[in-house]
Amino acid sequence: MFSRGWCVLVVLLMVLDPTGRLWGVTPAAGRPNILFLFADDQRADTIGAWGNAHIRTPHLDGLVGRGFSFRGNYCFGGNSGAVCVPSRAMLMSGRTWFGLPHTLQGVTTFPEHLRRQGYETFATGKWHNGEASFLRSFERGRSIHFGGMDDHTRTAIQDLQADGKFTRRQPAPKFSSEQFADEVIDSLNTLPAIDPSWPMPPSPRRTIPAIRRRRGGSPIRTNVRLCRAITCRSTPSTTVS
């Protein structure tokens, strides 16, 4: 196990309490490690397991089948038709969009909090919330895109150097998703071997009853579903863009 936990944001952060208190379980000898994937402006109906018969998303379907799906959640506003900046800012801060600085100035972010708790934080991908907030949040970063929309075949990327400065922008040599995925894999390959007993999350089939018991038997909110690829399908969409 690691003596120091790590968090990889593929900006693609979700942060679990390093002590394990959020799940109500006794933490293991090492801290939990976190890999969080955050899709940018992905339509809610673009996951096959949720009923869209026109697309194939086998890896996302696998995550749906093994975990939770929150189907009644919405982005709380935006300043344009694109909601990438607002959704990322709200996720990083836990605050609603109105009154929240776009650059997260003066706001403690999830990865920033993890760093204070001794985590090593790494990110790759799009971060359209300013360089200053990125530097506070991550001690390592590669192939970072600080802009908005771009040509995915030549996405402008930068690396965070050991001296805390960014390299000059240059076009990515690969398609954006491939570039970011390879950076994650390379980063994970530099870490010590992971104990195979971790990081399997608590099974939803065991977690939900435990939550109900802690809540005195009250039901889980209706927007929380234990989704399986077969049992949680809805009416297929007729159009996709």
Per-residue pLDDT of the chain in tens (241 residues, 90 and over written 9)? 334 555 555 554 333 334 433 333 334 446 788 888 888 778 878 899 999 999 899 988 999 999 888 888 778 878 787 888 988 999 899 998 888 998 999 999 999 999 998 888 999 999 999 999 999 999 999 999 998 888 899 999 999 999 999 999 999 999 999 999 999 999 888 876 655 444 444 444 455 555 455 545 544 444 444 443 333 333 333 333 2
Residues 107 and 185 both lie in one domain: yes
Residues 116 and 196 both lie in one domain: yes
Residues 221 and 152 both lie in one domain: no
What the block records as the tokens of 226 is 């234990």
1 is a domain residue = no
For residues 214 and 125, what is the distance between their CA atoms, to the nearest angstrom? 38
CA neighbor of 121 nearest in space, from 35, 182, 39: 35
180 is a domain residue = yes
Residues 183 and 230 both lie in one domain: no
Residues 19 and 97 both lie in one domain: yes
Residues 115 and 222 both lie in one domain: no
CB proximity list for 111: less than 8 A, separation 6 or greater: 7, 9, 13, 15, 92, 119, 121, 123, 137, 138
144 is a domain residue = yes
Residues 69 and 11 both lie in one domain: no
Residues 188 and 72 both lie in one domain: no
For residues 129 and 86, what is the distance between their CA atoms, to the nearest angstrom? 9
Predicted TM-score (pTM) of the model is 0.69
For residues 49 and 189, what is the distance between their CA atoms, to the nearest angstrom? 30
54 is a domain residue = yes
141 is a domain residue = yes
Looking at the 3D structure of the chain, how many domains does it have?
Answer: 2
Residues 136 and 221 both lie in one domain: no
Facing residues of 170 across strands? 157
136 is a domain residue = yes
Residues 196 and 113 both lie in one domain: yes
Environment class of 124 (CB within 10 Å of its CB; exposed 0-12, middle 13-18, buried 19+): buried
Residues 69 and 23 both lie in one domain: no
For residues 99 and 107, what is the distance between their CA atoms, to the nearest angstrom? 11
177 is a domain residue = yes
Instruction: List the domain range (segments joined by +) for residue 88.
Output: 6-41+82-201
For residues 89 and 146, what is the distance between their CA atoms, to the nearest angstrom? 14
Residues 19 and 118 both lie in one domain: yes
